[in-house]
Amino acid sequence: MSCIVLIGMPGAGKSTLGVQLAKETARDFVDTDVMIQLREGKTLQAIIDGSDYLNLRRIEEEILSSLDISHHVVATGGSAVYSDLGMNKLKTLGPVIFLDVDLAELRQRIDNYDHRGIARRTDQSFEDLYIERRGLYNKYADFVIDCNGKKQHVVLRELQKILKN
């Protein structure tokens, strides 16, 4: 279990913190959203536009369930938690850490909700998506870090503290 898996809403800082954590812990870094885009040759939004959000979630599940890596920090897509198969695979790789950011702060961070490639129903508001996913993040998390109002270096230190224990 040499990987560290980061989950959370879009805008929670999974990719940004993941790169920093990888440097600090001498691990490689992988972003599963980037893996999806590379495999499909399209952006997440183009995948959704060409089919629908459920197809994006299906592709994400295929990527997650087939991961064969060690000694990585893994930044997942925000919708990874919809896949039991994918999340169970991730949990075999290492601890799953939920980067918890409240709705108000996420709204400040996300300004491209409609074009960001978020796997959601077209009629689903950001608030509805947040409410729907929050329980799933908590379900799969081995650890939860409250990231509200904290600078990245503070969250990074909290991540390192969790990993040492």
Domain encompassing residue 64: 4-148
Whether residue 36 is contained in a domain is answered as yes
For the chain, percent helix, then strand, then coil, each to nearest 5? 55, 15, 30
Residue 6 and residue 75 in contact, taking contact as beta carbons nearer than 8 Å: yes
| Closest to 9 in 3D by CA, of 142, 115, 119 | 119
β-partners of residue 99 are 145
Predicted pLDDT at 119: 79
Whether residue 159 is contained in a domain is answered as no
Distance in angstroms (rounded) separating the CA atoms of residues 111 and 2: 34
Whether residue 156 is contained in a domain is answered as no
Whether residue 95 is contained in a domain is answered as yes
Whether residue 16 is contained in a domain is answered as yes
Whether residue 161 is contained in a domain is answered as no
Predicted pLDDT at 115: 62
Predicted pLDDT at 157: 96
Q: Which of the 8 DSSP states describes residue 123?
A: T
Whether residue 165 is contained in a domain is answered as no
Work out how many domains the chain is built from and give that number: 1
What's the order of all strands across the beta sheet hosting 72-75? 28-31, 72-75, 4-7, 96-100, 143-146
Whether residue 153 is contained in a domain is answered as no
What stretches in the chain show pLDDT beneath 70?
Answer: 1, 112-117
Distance in angstroms (rounded) separating the CA atoms of residues 126 and 113: 8
Distance in angstroms (rounded) separating the CA atoms of residues 81 and 37: 18
Predicted pLDDT at 3: 97
Predicted pLDDT at 117: 64
Predicted pLDDT at 1: 54
pTM (global) more than 0.75: yes
Residue 78 burial (CB count, 10 A):
24
Distance in angstroms (rounded) separating the CA atoms of residues 127 and 138: 17
CATH number at residue 21: 3.40.50.300
